[in-house]
Amino acid sequence: MTRHQTAYERNAPDPRLVERSLAATKRSVYWLEEAGATSRYPRVTAASSADLAIVGGGYLGLWTAVLAKRRDPGRRVVLLEAQTVGWAASGRNGGFCEASITHGAQNGRTRWPEEFDTLQRLGAENLDAFEQDVRDLSIDCHWERTGTMAVAVEDHQVEWLEGDAPRLDRTAVRAEIDSPLFLAGALHPDGCALVHPARLALELARVAADLGVELHEHSAVTGVRSAGGSVELRTDRATVEADRVVLATNAFPSLLRRNRLMTVPVYDYVLMTEPLSDEQMASIGWSNRQGLTDLANQFHYSRLTKDNRILYGGYDAVYHAGRKVREQYEERPETYATLASHFFATFPQLEDVRFSHRWAGAIDTCTRFAAFYGLAHGDRVAHAAGFTGLGVGATRFAAEVLLDLLSGESTPRTKLEMVRKRPLPFPPEPFASVGINLTRRALDRADHRRGKRNAFLRALDAAGLGFDS
């Protein structure tokens, strides 16, 4: 089949425009910078004990801490974070808080057809409970229950909108957000909220501390082992002994050997514009402030901030051999140039806009693209990982699951097949790198061949391993 240019390539701007737009861009996470994220909690320096110890100060660990104290205010809870609260994925994502706990409806229907309706209901209930928590706990995270709009930018993508409602034709979709690339769209008004990611993490930490959780930053856990009737967590300065433990390290190497092959860190890249003027906002519309995604295999996502900057990310999802999480992987000039080019193809009326910030982060990807769960060390250690980029909302649900599992009680959540069964692991190196990069190239090829998936991708789909970047 002939290779066709994508809409972004057919409408690519002058390379000099891209170069100018990136000339003054700062390599910094806008969210963390705006929130004033700094070290706020002491390093653990002395041996201690806890009823519940949590490893990881991102959303999963923070929600677990908050919900554990709400379930049992007298429980002593200690949280250990290797760097600072929210510094990794939780502080640098796009801020889309989705209702889906299955990484989208299609993934959920394919993998858990018999319980999909239940998973949809639980996801919707979780998002409503999240919103209620934001109100009740006075969490200042720029919460906006705006929903999302998915857009087709190629003719073959229009049919992929079938079944979604309300459906928008070209005129209607451009009345919502004006881009010459948008051919059709679908509104999902209730299934997503937008948040300020770093503020959410910092506010959850504040709430946890107010509830009596002992938070420690710069306290990396280097080992976990059973010690009689408890679990021992080792750091470089002290040991914490706990009756129960939650591991919430996600994209970072698991402290459990059995989980070392379960996830891979895939890097996602983001640009943030300067604030748009009133005139620039008028030129694109976007008065309803929805989150925005397109339907390509290598998709883009974008949204507005409180001060009307546009966050624009996605497309490249890059895996580096060895499952390493390294700061050097965050600087990838060719990806930022591609994103800038695609941005101006989408919004040519914003040719005077410049990008203020660029950054990247690692996504904890597993082979089913939604979180998996488990227990270890005599059912005293619970873990979850593998959220694959949709963890802002799903981590709250996962925290409830982990606390259910540690309680030893059977609940509707612990009975879910999604919770009981593990996905397939990724193969070891070098096979993981070969497979992932073959998949990336095949997805790119499909986007250049009117969405047609080749035999390799169809085989992955049949095996339940179809990759979504």
442 pLDDT band, cuts 50/70/90, is: confident
Q: Tell me: the pLDDT tens digits for 105-118?
A: 989 999 999 999 99
**57 and 179 share a domain?**
no
Residue 239, domain member (yes or no): yes
Q: In the 3-class helix/strand/coil scheme, how is 108-129 assigned residue by residue?
A: HHHHCCCCHHHHHHHHHHHHHH
Cα distance between residue 324 and residue 266, in whole Å: 10
Provide CB contacts within 8 A for 139, sequence distance 6+: 133, 200, 203, 204, 207
The residue type of 377 is H
Cα distance between residue 204 and residue 213, in whole Å: 11
Q: Tell me: the pLDDT tens digits for 14-25?
A: 999 999 999 999
Token pair listed for 61: 């660990």
Q: Tokens 């974008």 correspond to what residue?
A: 302
Q: Which residue has the higher pLDDT, 162 or 76?
A: 76
**288 and 326 share a domain?**
yes
pLDDT at site 192: 97
pLDDT at site 448: 83
Provide CB contacts within 8 A for 262, sequence distance 6+: 254, 366, 372, 385, 386, 422, 423, 425, 426
**119 and 206 share a domain?**
yes
pLDDT at site 440: 83
CB 184 within 8 A of CB 205: no
Q: Determine the 3-state secondary structure of 235 from DSSP.
A: strand
CATH of the domain at 74: 3.50.50.60
Task: Using the predicted structure, report yes or no on whether residue 320 has a pLDDT greater than 80.
Answer: yes
Last residue within a domain, chosen from 347, 362, 377? 362
- Tell me how many domains the chain contains: 2
Provide CB contacts within 8 A for 113, sequence distance 6+: none
Q: Tell me: the pLDDT tens digits for 331-380?
A: 999 999 999 999 999 999 999 999 999 999 999 999 999 999 999 999 99
Residue 3, domain member (yes or no): no
* Closest to 27 (Cα-Cα) out of 328, 415, 363, 366: 328
**46 and 114 share a domain?**
yes
Residue 429, domain member (yes or no): no
What would the mean pLDDT of 452-456 be, rounded to a whole number?
A: 79
pLDDT at site 469: 44
What would the mean pLDDT of 236-247 be, rounded to a whole number?
A: 96
Q: Tokens 């008065």 correspond to what residue?
A: 287
**120 and 52 share a domain?**
yes
466 pLDDT band, cuts 50/70/90, is: low
What would the mean pLDDT of 80-85 be, rounded to a whole number?
A: 98
Angle between helical axes of 59-71 and 391-407 (0-180°, round to 10): 50
Residue 465, domain member (yes or no): no
Cα distance between residue 116 and residue 112, in whole Å: 6
**Residue 324: other Cβ atoms inside 10 A:** 11
**119 and 46 share a domain?**
yes
pLDDT at site 59: 98
Token pair listed for 106: 């299609």
pLDDT at site 465: 66
Q: Determine the 3-state secondary structure of 376 from DSSP.
A: strand
The residue type of 456 is F
Provide CB contacts within 8 A for 126, sequence distance 6+: 99, 101, 393, 394, 396, 397, 400
Residue 209, domain member (yes or no): yes
**119 and 219 share a domain?**
yes
Cα distance between residue 379 and residue 137, in whole Å: 31
Task: Using the predicted structure, report yes or no on whether residue 159 has a pLDDT greater than 70.
Answer: yes
Cα distance between residue 216 and residue 218, in whole Å: 7
Residue 468, domain member (yes or no): no
pLDDT at site 1: 55
**210 and 175 share a domain?**
no
178 pLDDT band, cuts 50/70/90, is: very high
Q: Which residue has the higher pLDDT, 327 or 469?
A: 327
pLDDT at site 455: 81
CB 242 within 8 A of CB 53: yes
**213 and 91 share a domain?**
yes
Residue 401, domain member (yes or no): yes
**279 and 309 share a domain?**
yes
165 pLDDT band, cuts 50/70/90, is: low
Q: Tell me: the pLDDT tens digits for 376-415?
A: 999 999 999 999 999 999 999 999 999 999 999 999 999 9
Q: Tokens 């000039």 correspond to what residue?
A: 333
CB 396 within 8 A of CB 403: no
The DSSP 8-state label assigned to residue 228 in this structure reads T
Residue 427, domain member (yes or no): no
**62 and 113 share a domain?**
yes
CATH of the domain at 304: 3.30.9.10
CB 224 within 8 A of CB 233: yes
Cα distance between residue 301 and residue 15, in whole Å: 22
**295 and 159 share a domain?**
yes
Residue 299 sits in which domain range? Answer: 11-29+148-188+266-362
Token pair listed for 150: 């998915």
Last residue within a domain, chosen from 334, 362, 390? 362
pLDDT at site 457: 76
Tell me the pLDDT of the chain averaged across its residues.
94
Q: Name residue 48's beta-bridge partners.
A: 240
Query: How does DSSP assign 308-367, residue by residue?
Result: S-EEEEEEEEEE-TTT---GGGG--HHHHHHHHHHHHHH-GGGTT--EEEEEEEEEEE-T
215 pLDDT band, cuts 50/70/90, is: very high
Last residue within a domain, chosen from 362, 393, 412? 362
CA angle 189/193/198 to nearest 5° reads 165
